[in-house]
Amino acid sequence: MTDNQTVLLTIDGTMATVTLNRPEAMNAFNQDSYRGLMDVAQKIKETPEIRVVIMTGAGDRAFSAGMDLKMIAGGGSGSALLGGYRDGFDRLYGLKSIFTMYEELAVPVIAAINGFCLGAAFELSLCCDIRLCIEQAVFALPEMPLGVIPDLGSTQRLPRIVGPAYAKELIITGRRINALEALRINLVNHVYPKDQLMPEARKLAEEMAKLNPRHVSGAKRAVNMAMSTPLDWGLRLETDICLGAGSGQSFSAEAQKFIQKK
């Protein structure tokens, strides 16, 4: 277990469980949450005994309600422009990179979504390899009605999972969908009663943990490559679009160099 109590890591043999642990705030992300996610991902990466990861939220209300509004008021992702365009780009792309650590882990990551999954938490769940949820789960990207473009990867990852039409509908309207709708559009793999979510997640994890870890890692890497060959470019472009929309500026010098290379 890490020292950061906002994100807990427990290891049981070959299985690790990552728990978003701010139940009093519906597990909303603050600065400590991002540091915790980064530290836990690094710990998993450095622990070869781990063969599969389950990610869930503490309590019985939410996987996570997304970004803590106090963090935004204090200069988090949603107010990245306060530090200037260059600082904002670096900060925002750095947050994306924390989420990407889970996508790039050599082991499968199963999201066990036990309630509300909103905003930044929705975007984190898209970095997981498999998503399971309870019947009462609620999903949404509420940023656009609040005047902000979703900026932690959803404009790039969500179309690859549910297709561009559904992705545009969810991103632009910010509307909430329930578990059955999420299942229908392939956002989640399976829906379970609340008391069956973690047992089913562990059953799936145990099945994966029995397989040759090199084969599992290779298969995951191959699928990710097929789905996201242009992802790095897409994430950089998304960052510029999101920040540029608020500042009126054109692409950053770094992004222009990246475009020329492409």
Q: Are 262 and 236 in contact (CB under 8 A)?
A: no
**Burial state string for 196-218 with b = 16 or more CB within 10 A and e = fewer than 16:** ebbeebbebbeebbeeebeebee
Tell which residue, 231, 111, 259, has the closest CA to residue 182. 111
The pair of structure tokens assigned to 88 is 């904002």
- Is 143 noted as a catalytic residue in this protein? yes
Of the candidates 24, 103, 104, 143, the residue annotated as catalytic is: 143
Q: What angle do CA 246, 95, 183 make, to 5 degrees?
A: 90
Residue 178, burial from CB neighbour count under 10 angstroms (0-12, 13-18, 19+) = middle
Euclidean distance between CA atoms 219 and 224, whole angstroms: 9
Euclidean distance between CA atoms 106 and 86, whole angstroms: 32
Rg of the chain over all Cα atoms, to the nearest angstrom: 18
Of the candidates 24, 46, 104, 123, the residue annotated as catalytic is: 123
Catalytic positions, written as ranges: 123, 143
